[in-house]
Chains A and B, each alone.
Chain A
C-alpha cells in the first residue's frame, strides 16, 4: 500500500529494489552507498526475506561483487549491486562483460568525490565511467535521479528496463541523495499498474524459453545445441576469434541499443518555453536549477534535464535549444555532462557557457547568479 515515509536515500533504494521484486544483492561496502547493503542484509535475514528466498552476499571486492551479480543474472534472478567511486571503477570489469553479452545487471551507483579515493561526500564525476567506462562503446542505460522520490521511482524502473531490453542498467545517484533523509512515497508495483519485465535464466533454463537467446545475445557469442534427448545446452563466450566476429557483436549490440533508445530515452523540461537562457543540468544539480528558476520567477531561464544520460536525449535537446540565445551547462564535474551536451548540439551555433564545479555542490543561489550574469 502506498505510504509516505521519512527515509534516507540509500534505504529508499533498498525498498525500491524490494518493490521491484529483486531477489539477489551482491556487493562490497563503500561510502556513501553502504546502507543499501545494510538494508538488503537485514531484509534477507528477516522472515519475509527468507520466505522470498532473498540472497545477500558480501564479496571480497567490487570485481568479485560484479561477477557474482553476473552469476545471479545468468541464473535468471533480478540481481543488483550498489557501489561508488573507486568501487565503481572496479565494477567496470563486470559492466564490460554485461555490455558485451546483453546481461541485465543493475547497479546503484552513488557518486562521491574524485578522482581517486577523494571525498566520501558528493560529485557528478562518474558520468564518464557510468556511460562509457570499459572497453566498449557505452551500450548501457544510465538514469540520473534528482530527488528522493525519483530514487524510489527509478530504483524500481531500472529492473524493468534492464530485463526488458537486456542491457546493464545504472541508477546514477550521488552522495547527497544517498545520505539525505526526507519524505518519500513508497508503493507496490501492482497498485501502480506497473508490469515488470520477467527475468529468464541464461543457464539451466529447462522450460521452453519465452525469449530465444538469439533475440538477445549477439550471434557470435553463443552456440545452442540439443543433446541426445532434445535438451538444449547453451554455450556462451565473449572471447572471439576474428575481427569480423567482434564487429558483428558491436554492430548487433548497437542496433539493439538504438532500437531500445526510442523507448527508453527520458528527459524533462522546466520553465517557460520563451525563456532565452537554457540551463542543461542533471541529477541533484537539475533540482537546484528548478529551485533557482522558481526563486527568480522572471522567466529568464528554463531547464533541460536529461533523465537518461545513456541513451542521451540528443534530438530532444536540439529541439529544446531552438529559441535559446545562450546555453549554460552546470555540473559538479569538469566537462563530463558538458562533452555529451556539446556533442549533441554540434553545429547549432548557440553560445555555450560552461559552469563546472567538480566534486562540490552547486546551490540554487549560485545558479541564480549564473543566470543573471548571463542574461545580458
Chain B
C-alpha cells in the first residue's frame, strides 16, 4: 500500500482537471479534504476520464468540493449522495459515478444507502473522508469518533465502539474494491483511487475507499501541525489500518 515512487506529475500544484477559477478553495486551513481531492484529481487525469466523470458531493465539509474540479458535479442532501449516484449510473452506465461523502454522511445518516449499494453491488465509487468527527456542524460525535474522545456532543467521552466500514462492506460484498488510504501518503492514496476508478471503468461493481483525514479546526490543533499529524498518523492510524481489504 505504501507507494513511494513519485509519478512524473506529482510536483504539479494541481491536477489538470481542477477548476482554477474556484481557487483558493474554501476549506479551513490545514483541512485534509483538498489533499483527498488532489489525489482524486490526479487519478482522474491519469485515467483520462475527465469527460466521463459525474461527481456527487455530500452536505458537510464535502459540499465545498462542488466546484473544485472541471468535472460535472452535483451537490445533494446530507447522506443522499450515494443513492443519487446510484440512480445516475443506472441511467447512464457509460458515466463514471463517484460519491464523495464525509463519515457522518456515509456512516450515520446515509448508512442504509451505503450498505445497500454495496449489497446490490452498484457499479459506483464511494469515497468517504474519515476525520473522526462531524466537522461542518461544529465538532459533534460521529460513528468514527474514537472511544473516549471528548467532542461537543460527547463531553464525557465518545462511545466505546466505532464503525469499521471496510470490514462491514466486505461482509456483504465479496467482490467489491475496498481500501483505506490516508492524506499523508499521497502517492499511495492516488494509486488506491486510481485502482478504485479502474474497477468501475471495468464494470467491476462496488468500489469503496475510506480516507483518513485531518481536521485541525475540530481536533483543537489549529496552528499546531505536529499535534494534528501526530493524532492522524498515530492515534487514527492505530484504529483504522491503511491497506487494501
Contacts and interface: CB of A to CB of B under 8 A. Distances in A.
Contacts of A24: 87, 90-91
B91 A72 contact: yes
Given A64-B83, A64-B116, A235-B73, A204 B52 contact: yes
Contacts of A237: 63, 66-67, 75
A203 B54 contact: yes
Q: Interface extent on B, as a size class?
A: 35 or more
Contact of A74 (B21, B50, B80, B88): B88
Contacts of A225: 19, 21, 70
B95 interface: yes
A228 to B, nearest CB: 7
Contact of A227 (B50, B73, B95): B50
Given A204-B95, A236-B66, A239-B63, A67 B76 contact: yes
A74 B84 contact: yes
Interface in B164-184: none
B90 A72 contact: yes
A206 B67 CA distance: 18
Contacts of B161: none
Given A24-B90, A59-B83, A61-B112, A97 B95 contact: no
Given A64-B112, A225-B19, A71 B86 contact: yes
B75 A236 contact: yes
A71 B66 contact: no
B95 A67 contact: no
A72 B87 contact: yes
A233 interface: yes
A26 B90 CA distance: 10
Contact of B51 (A66, A206, A235, A236): A206
Contacts of A79: 87, 91
Interface string B35-63: 00000000000000011101000010001
Nearest to B80: A67
A74 B74 contact: yes
A63 interface: yes
B212 interface: no
B90 A57 contact: yes
Nearest to A24: B91
Contacts of A203: 54, 72-74, 88, 95
A23 B91 contact: yes
Contact of A71 (B22, B70, B77, B89): B89
Given A204-B92, A233-B69, A239-B75, A57 B19 contact: no
Contacts of A60: 83, 112-113, 116
B126 interface: no
Given A68-B90, A228-B16, A235 B67 contact: yes
B209 interface: no
Contacts of B74: 74, 202-203, 236
B80 A233 contact: no
Contacts of B75: 236-239
A306 B85 CA distance: 37
Q: Kindly name the residue among A24, A59, A68, A231 whose own CB sees the greatest number of chain B CB atoms within 10 A.
A: A68
Given A97-B77, A236-B73, A237-B75, A67 B83 contact: yes
A26 B16 CA distance: 36
Interface in A231-279: 231, 233-239
B106 interface: no
B71 interface: yes
A37 interface: no
Interface string A32-57: 00000000000000000000000101
Nearest to B120: A57
B76 A97 contact: yes
A240 B84 CA distance: 20
A57 B76 contact: no
B87 A57 contact: yes
Q: Kindly name the residue among A225, A235, A236 whose own CB sees the greatest number of chain B CB atoms within 10 A.
A: A235
Q: Kindly name the residue among A67, A72, A96 whose own CB sees the greatest number of chain B CB atoms within 10 A.
A: A67
A77 interface: yes
Nearest to B109: A63
Contact of B91 (A55, A64, A94, A234): A55
18 contacts: A24-B90, A26-B90, A59-B116, A60-B113, A63-B113, A64-B113, A66-B83, A67-B80, A71-B87, A72-B87, A75-B91, A77-B92, A97-B80, A204-B54, A204-B92, A228-B16, A236-B66, A236-B75
| Nearest 7 Cβ contacts at the A-B interface | A71-B87, A68-B87, A71-B88, A75-B91, A60-B116, A75-B92, A67-B83
Interface of B: 16-17, 19, 21-22, 50-52, 54, 59, 63, 66-67, 69-77, 80, 83-92, 95, 112-113, 116
Given A67-B76, A204-B51, A223-B22, 7 more contacts: A57-B86, A63-B113, A71-B83, A71-B91, A72-B88, A77-B92, A236-B74
